[in-house]
Amino acid sequence: MFTPKIPPPDTAPTPGTSLVPPLTGLVHPPACTCHNAPTAPAPVPVPVAPPARPAVQLTPGSLLVAAAGGTAAVLIIGTVLISMLLAIAITAASVAVCAVVLRSLLNNQKGH
């Protein structure tokens, strides 16, 4: 199964012969028919700096809208985080109460 499959001696090529016939009679055309002498490479153009972008100008109205939006985002995110913390605290307290009740029930069964 893991032994190499060697062809029988009658079909194996001899070391002096090749399975691929030689290519004869092929003539490649020249890559370029212009016959010009090579020229020097073109100079690299100097990159032009892009025009400066105008600075953001905040008007009193847009500043008020940005402050109101930021305040609303902070209040909403804070409300969500506090409600999640409250849910975790309530769950922890209820698990603690259940543990105390179960412990007292198990201790009462051992005493009777």
CA pair distance 12, 6, nearest whole angstrom: 9
pTM surpassing 0.75? no
For the stretch 75-109, pLDDT in tens is 999 999 999 999 999 999 999 999 999 999 988 77
DSSP 3-state assignment of 17? Answer: coil
Residues 6 or more apart in contact with residue 13 via CB below 8 angstroms:
19
